[in-house]
Each structure stands twice: as structure tokens, then as C-alpha cells.
């Protein structure tokens, strides 16, 4: 059996679409109908007419697809692919904070569970966080959750006072300033592109901080030939495919998110064949989480 052919056959038979995040394994990116960053995947899920969405990424992303496309059957081929950062902002803790600070605007990175999104005002991704923060009047207090690093990087850029939840991405947290310095010493002509989930001290040593989708656009438009990629290593697959004449270097040790690597071609095949495991959310969670995601999608890019 050729698994790629079987997946394509079942995708057509089920009237399905396969969405994959830029960090998934190369084979998964290659079979997907659409590969993108968190914002692009949210937009795709919102406009998608497919009966079945096979979501290859971590759990909160599949939940977002379900919230935005509630009539579709959303399959998450490996239910063990979670995001530890999303789990750092539990719904009951966020609800408690909100109750205690009724005047604060709660801004949540999309890396939160649907249950947590029920207690916030507006979502953002690393691709639109600046625009989202700028859409909030200057005199309002802001709590940014769960990623303290993304929050601090945006606050510094916009010179905006904000409170930060004590959450972080365990993969980007391990990208240390000395790793950037070592990579620069090895490849002095390369431009350093970094993800804003990294610590501010690391971001300060890079040339440009962008979402994964932003990195792809930046590299394509750049006259430069070589790049040091300071984010999860899965992005290099697409960067290299779309820019065969350019050179990409990861860091040492290679940043890797084990959860993003959990979905295999076998998982996708079985999921399409058995139509399971499906993302199921209570109706009140779908309704509660939709509001802050839609508010985010209304913010002009």
C-alpha cells in the first residue's frame, strides 16, 4: 500500500482538507492541502467548507479549527500532541484572575485551550500580536497570556506597559543568547531570523523577529543568500523547499518541539479511515471561545 496515495484517496472520498503547521514533520507538510502558521491556519479553518478537517498540529490549534468550523468533523490524528505552554494557563486560573481584575483587557496568544479562551477578550498570534495590542486604547490595562516572552518582546517594541502571565514555550525558552553568538561566528554572512517566543535577551541578538509565516515571506523577499533560523527546526523543510538556491542553518542544539513531531502519515491515514479521534467541545465552550478568536480575525493585518 502506498500510504500517500491512500491518504489522497481517502481525503477526496471524505471531502476532507488536511491542514498542517509549519513545524510538523516534512512528510506531513508534503501531503497537506495547506501548510501555515497559527494565524494562517485559523483563517483557513474559518473559511473552509470541507466536511472533514484533518488538523496536523497541536491540540489547541485543532480546537481553534473546531471553534471556527463547528459543523465540520475536526480530526486530530494524534491526541497526545499537546502544547505545554497552552497548559500553563488553566481555564479556572484565568477566570479567577479576570474576576479579580475586571478593568483589565485579557489578551491571549492563540496557544491557549478553547476553555481558557472563554475567559479572555481578544486573541492574537505571533503574526498579529502588535496589531492586536495597538487596537486596545492606551489607557486600558492589559494582561498578556500565557507567553511572557512574546508579551515582553511586543511590549518592548511598542513601549507599552503590560502584565504578563508566567508561561513560556519550553522549546523556544531553550534558545539561549550564546547559541545565536555561536551560529553567527560560524556563518558571519547569514541573517538571523528569530521567533518572538524566545527570551528578550536572545531576540536582542537577532536581526529580525517574526512568526513562522512571517519568516517564510521575509526570506522569499530578501536578497540575502543565507539565514540562521532561530525557531523550531521543522520550519527549515519549507524554507528550503521554497528557496532552493538559499542556505539555512539551524542552531546547536537543534530546537525541537516533540509535540509538533507526533503526527505521522500512519496517524493521518488511520484517522481518515476511521474518522477518529475527533475534537469534541461543549457548545458553550465553542460559543465562548469564538468571540475572542473572531475579534482577532477582525483586526486588519
Contact positions vs ligand SF4 (CB under 6 A):
58, 83-85, 111, 169-172, 232, 257, 259-260
Q: How far is CA 181 from the centre of its chain?
A: 26
DSSP-derived 3-state class of residue 124:
strand
Answer whether the bond into residue 176 is a cis peptide, omega within 30°: no
Pick what 212 binds: ligand 13P, ligand SF4, none; C-beta below 5 to 8 Å, kind-dependent.
ligand 13P
Q: What angle do CA 107, 112, 120 make, to 5 degrees?
A: 35
When binding is defined by CB under 6 A, the residue of 11, 126, 250, 271 that contacts ligand 13P is 126
Stretch that binds ligand 13P, among 24-32, 125-133, 155-163, 181-189 (CB under 6 A): 125-133
Cβ atoms of residues 95 and 141 within 8 Å:
no
3-state DSSP call for residue 101?
coil
259 binds, among ligand 13P, ligand SF4, none (CB under 5 to 8 A by kind): ligand SF4
Identify whether the C-beta of residue 167 lies closer than 8 Å to the C-beta of residue 148: yes
Q: Is 125 in the site for ligand 13P (CB under 6 A)?
A: yes
- Cα separation, 279 vs 55, whole angstroms: 10
Q: Which is nearer to ligand 13P, 32 or 272 (CB)?
A: 32
Q: Of the two residues 38 and 78, which places its CB atom closer to ligand 13P in the complex?
A: 38
CA–CA distance, 74 with 50 (Å, rounded to integer):
10
Nearest approach, Cβ of residue 165 and ligand 13P (Å):
16
Stretch that binds ligand 13P, among 36-44, 152-160, 262-270, 287-295 (CB under 6 A): 36-44
CB of residue 71 vs ligand 13P: minimum separation in angstroms? 25
How many helices (H) and strands (E) the chain has is answered by 15, 12
Residue number, 11 or 126, with CB nearest to ligand 13P:
126
Say what the alpha-carbon torsion angle 236, 166, 147, 54 is, to the nearest 10 degrees. Answer: 80
Q: Which is nearer to ligand 13P, 214 or 288 (CB)?
A: 214
What is the DSSP annotation of 74-128?
Answer: EE-S-TT---TTGGGS-HHHHHHHHHH-TTEEEEEES-S-HHHHTT-SEEE-TTT
Q: Is 234 in the site for ligand 13P (CB under 6 A)?
A: no
State yes or no: residue 11 binds ligand 13P (CB under 6 A): no
Whole-angstrom Cα distance, residue 133 to residue 162?
Answer: 10
For the bound state, the minimum distance from the C-beta of residue 194 to ligand SF4, rounded and expressed in Å, comes to: 13
Q: What is the rounded CA–CA span in Å between residue 77 and residue 58?
A: 10
Site for ligand 13P in 37-56 (CB under 6 A): 37-39
Question: How many residues in total does the chain contain?
Answer: 301
By beta-carbon proximity to ligand 13P, the closer residue of 36 and 288 is: 36
How does DSSP classify residue 98?
Answer: H
Our CB check for ligand SF4 shows the closer of 112 and 271 to be: 112
Give the interface size with ligand 13P as a residue count (CB under 6 A): 13
Instruction: Return the number of the residue (11 or 24) whose C-beta is nearest ligand 13P.
Output: 24
Distance CA 201, CA 153 (A): 10
Residues that bind ligand 13P (CB under 6 A): 22, 37-39, 83, 111, 125-127, 169, 197, 211-212
Amino acid at each position: 500500500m502506498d500510504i500517500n496515495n491512500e491518504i489522497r484517496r481517502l481525503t477526496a472520498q471524505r471531502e476532507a482538507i488536511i491542514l498542517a503547521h509549519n513545524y510538523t514533520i516534512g512528510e506531513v507538510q508534503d501531503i497537506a492541502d495547506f501548510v501555515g502558521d497559527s494565524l494562517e491556519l485559523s483563517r483557513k479553518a474559518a473559511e473552509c467548507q470541507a466536511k472533514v478537517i484533518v488538523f496536523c498540529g497541536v491540540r489547541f490549534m485543532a480546537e481553534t479549527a473546531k471553534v471556527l468550523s463547528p459543523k465540520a468533523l475536526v480530526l486530530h490524528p494524534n491526541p497526545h500532541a499537546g502544547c505545554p505552554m497552552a497548559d500553563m494557563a488553566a481555564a479556572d486560573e484565568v477566570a479567577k484572575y479576570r474576576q479579580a481584575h475586571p478593568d483589565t483587557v485579557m489578551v491571549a496568544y492563540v496557544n491557549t485551550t478553547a476553555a481558557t479562551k472563554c475567559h479572555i477578550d481578544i486573541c492574537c498570534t505571533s503574526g498579529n500580536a502588535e496589531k492586536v495590542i495597538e487596537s486596545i486604547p492606551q489607557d486600558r490595562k492589559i494582561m498578556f497570556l500565557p507567553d511572557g516572552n512574546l508579551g515582553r518582546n511586543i511590549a518592548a517594541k511598542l513601549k507599552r506597559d503590560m502584565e504578563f502571565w508566567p508561561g513560556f514555550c519550553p522549546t523556544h525558552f531553550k534558545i539561549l543568547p550564546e547559541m545565536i553568538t555561536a551560529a553567527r561566528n560560524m556563518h558571519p554572512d547569514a541573517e538571523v531570523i528569530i521567533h518572538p517566543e524566545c527570551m528578550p535577551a536572545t531576540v536582542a541578538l537577532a536581526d529580525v523577529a517574526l512568526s513562522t509565516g512571517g519568516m517564510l515571506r521575509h526570506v522569499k523577499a530578501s536578497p540575502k543568500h543565507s539565514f540562521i533560523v532561530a525557531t523550531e527546526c521543522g520550519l527549515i523543510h519549507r524554507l528550503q523547499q521554497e528557496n532552493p538556491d538559499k542556505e539555512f542553518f539551524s542552531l546547536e542544539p537543534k530546537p525541537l518541539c516533540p509535540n509538533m513531531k507526533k503526527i505521522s502519515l500512519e496517524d493521518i491515514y488511520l484517522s481518515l479511515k476511521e474518522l477518529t479521534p475527533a475534537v469534541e467541545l461543549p457548545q458553550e465552550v465553542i460559543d465562548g471561545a469564538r468571540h475572542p478568536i473572531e475579534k482577532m480575525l477582525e483586526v486588519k493585518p
